[in-house]
Chain A
């Protein structure tokens, strides 16, 4: 507990130092506010525009979460197919690499064209971008079961379904969480990037990416900073959400998920 207080205190000290440095830069170099607003101006922008920030936060969060959940469902299903045989993996794996390497900004206009502007296409973009790490990690987890474990199951005449549900799937859960952790970060990035292209169909309101475009076109730099702050908070929320679920499912038996000791 005491250590936690120390960690919190030192992290806060760093933050304070950064804010002071920020303010000093403004004073010394006389930076105009449309280039770099003061920390206080950003705080005021957050306070004044809290309702629209909250709406943008919710829209982007919904899109990213929707894409992430869909990619977990689809990714696990695809990994189950990949785990069936080495041949299937050889045939299909290059295409998941394709998923990973195609720059999302390159296909976003296509998706916009096919699906139309709005949350649906943004969710689709978040889904596509977070699919590859889920597939790769889950497949790895499904096929990396120790040979002796499989032999043990065979010795007791286990059915293919028992092998899958009592051995391979539970064995893959830690790897699945590695995939989800990676995917959760990029699903937020995917949703924001998607909004830069696909915006929102809701009149007058858009997610964080849409609002960032709007704020920068209006030179509302303080609001822009507030939006960046909100995007960071969204990314952190996803991270903590995933960490919580990982801890919940794994802490009793898996080494990686034990409550980390703060030094």
Chain B
């Protein structure tokens, strides 16, 4: 048995995020993501799921607390991080091949390496046949494959995915989920994956972080002890269903936190009002 040194790839220490004087998006988030983990972040809408990714990528700065990525500040670590957005964000004026090459081009990779790498990636995600097509000619699933290939072109250690399959039909989504797992086995990156779908989170992850809203905070962290490598057959296994049920239950609890918080707030307001009446 080999002993691996396990160092955190991403580390959140007491992270709070607030935009200006607006409401607090995230409060007191402590989280360690280890190398090789596939962590899904799930939670009701408005709980700051996407903000977690924006913070890891340095696209936004925390109001309090610190974030380390591979021992560096998020901005300095960008070279080894790739981001996959909900919409495929392809440049419509570039062919599939030149879209995949974009990240390498921006980072100044020499042409021959760029072409070699792009060709290999097109094979990897099964897009060789449409390499010279423009994005508008592709289906939603194919566009997302291009987006994935572009993200992988720079050999990232860390892949951030913000609901990448939310706009796809269930069949394409399932297929791309399996593809993502296959690519991860081959390339060994760490992943932080934001999703609305409990089943998707369970299928992909080694760990699921459940957020509670208002303000966004970690409600629970659930390990996913399903065997690796995973295949589509897993979706019909009873232990998969059991875990999906458990995560869905936790998610419901997290959401009811919000209602309880709102009820508490209402009660406080009522108390305040009645005490003011009394004072008068």
- A contacts, CB < 8 Å to B: 146, 148-149, 151-158, 162, 166-167, 170-171, 173, 252-255
Contact = CB atoms under 8 A, between A and B. Distances in A.
A148 B87 CA distance: 9
A170 B85 CA distance: 21
Contacts of B136: 253, 255
24 contacts: A146-B87, A148-B87, A149-B89, A152-B83, A152-B89, A155-B78, A155-B83, A156-B78, A156-B106, A156-B107, A156-B154, A157-B79, A157-B107, A158-B106, A162-B106, A166-B106, A167-B91, A170-B93, A253-B93, A253-B94, A253-B135, A253-B136, A254-B92, A255-B136
Contact of A146 (B79, B89, B107, B135): B89
Interface string B76-103: 0011011101110101111000000011
Contacts of A157: 78-79, 106-107
Interface in B39-88: 57, 59, 78-79, 81-83, 85-87
A152 B85 contact: yes
A151 B107 contact: no
A138 to B, nearest CB: 16
Contacts of B79: 157
Contacts of A253: 92-94, 134-136
Nearest to A255: B136
Contacts of B106: 153, 156-158, 162, 166
The CB with the most chain B CB atoms within 10 A, among A152, A157, A167, is that of A152
Contacts of A153: 106
Interface of B: 57, 59, 78-79, 81-83, 85-87, 89, 91-94, 102-103, 105-107, 134-136, 154
A170 to B, nearest CB: 5
A158 B57 CA distance: 14
A154 B89 CA distance: 13
B91 A148 contact: no
Contacts of B83: 151-152, 155
Contacts of B102: 156, 166
Contacts of A156: 78, 102-103, 106-107, 154
B59 A154 contact: yes
Given A146-B89, A162-B106, A253-B93, A155 B134 contact: no
Contacts of B91: 149, 166-167, 170
Contact of B57 (A155, A167, A170, A252): A155
Contact of A151 (B59, B93, B103): B59
Nearest to A149: B89
A188 B91 CA distance: 35
5 pairs of A and B residues whose beta carbons are closest in the complex: A156-B106, A253-B134, A148-B85, A158-B106, A253-B93
Nearest to B88: A148
A253 B99 CA distance: 13
Given A148-B89, A156-B78, A253-B135, 16 more contacts: A146-B87, A151-B57, A151-B83, A151-B85, A152-B85, A152-B89, A154-B59, A155-B81, A156-B107, A156-B154, A157-B107, A166-B106, A253-B92, A253-B136, A254-B92, A255-B136
The CB with the most chain A CB atoms within 10 A, among B78, B102, B134, is that of B102
A152 B91 CA distance: 11
A153 to B, nearest CB: 7
A63 to B, nearest CB: 33
Nearest to A146: B89
B134 A252 contact: yes
Contacts of B103: 156
Contacts of B82: 155
A155 B107 CA distance: 10
Contacts of A173: 93
Nearest to A152: B89
The CB with the most chain A CB atoms within 10 A, among B59, B81, B86, B107, is that of B59
A155 B69 CA distance: 14
A254 B93 CA distance: 7
A253 B138 CA distance: 12
Contacts of B57: 151, 155
Contacts of B87: 146, 148
A149 B89 CA distance: 6
